[in-house]
């Protein structure tokens, strides 16, 4: 959404995202997809080479894209154990909206169960 506001004001934008499919649904102008854990758009802690490679890919996309909704995916595999990376990016406790939604699902199940009985 912010990319759209900025781009509409005449400033080119590039969105570096773990969810390029979602960015495409927003119809973002230039999308660089990265298969990295959330919160780590540019790479691994302390790995300047990897961070630079991601940033350079974003700049290359800026320089070469000629039409809206251009998507390029970065050809970099997250190093290490993906299961551990999946655990590590998540907060120590579920976010308020996740807790809220889980409670709503449980309530619906309880209500459904009471109607069934």
Partner 1 sequence: MTVDSYAFLPRAFRPMYEAAPRFDHAPVWADFGKPLADARIGLLSSAGIFLPAEQEPFDVERERREPTWGDPTLRVIPNDVTQSQIDATHLHINTADLLTDMNVALPIDRLNDLADKNVIGSVSPEHFSVMGFQQEGAEVWRTTTGPEIVARCHAVDIDALILAPA
CA distance 6 to 28: 11
Scanning residues 38 to 67, which ones bind partner 1 (CB under 8 A)? 38-46, 48, 51-52, 54-56, 58-59, 62-63, 65, 67
Residue 23 CB partners (closer than 8 Å, separation 6+):
15, 17, 31, 33, 71
Number of residues counted as binding partner 1 (CB under 8 A): 74
And the tokens for 84? 């551990």
Query: Residue 43: which of 74, 66, 7 has the closest Cα?
Result: 74
Q: Quote the least distance from Cβ 113 to partner 1, whole Å.
A: 20
Scanning residues 72 to 111, which ones bind partner 1 (CB under 8 A)? 73-75, 77, 82, 85-86, 88-92, 95-97, 99-100
Nearer to partner 1, 67 or 115 (CB): 67
Q: Quote the least distance from Cβ 117 to partner 1, whole Å.
A: 27
And the tokens for 47? 């790995």
């Amino acid at each position: 959404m912010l990319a759209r506001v900025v781009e509409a004001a005449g400033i080119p934008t590039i969105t570096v995202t773990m969810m390029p499919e979602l960015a495409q649904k927003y119809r973002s102008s230039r999308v660089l997809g990265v298969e990295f854990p959330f919160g780590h758009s540019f790479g691994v802690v302390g790995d300047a080479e990897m961070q630079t490679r991601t940033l350079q890919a974003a700049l290359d996309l800026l320089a070469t894209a000629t039409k809206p909704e251009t998507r390029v995916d970065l050809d970099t595999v997250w190093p290490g154990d993906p299961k551990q990376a999946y655990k590590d990016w998540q907060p120590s406790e579920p976010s308020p909206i996740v807790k809220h939604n889980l409670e709503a699902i449980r309530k619906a199940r309880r209500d459904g169960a009471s109607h069934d009985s």
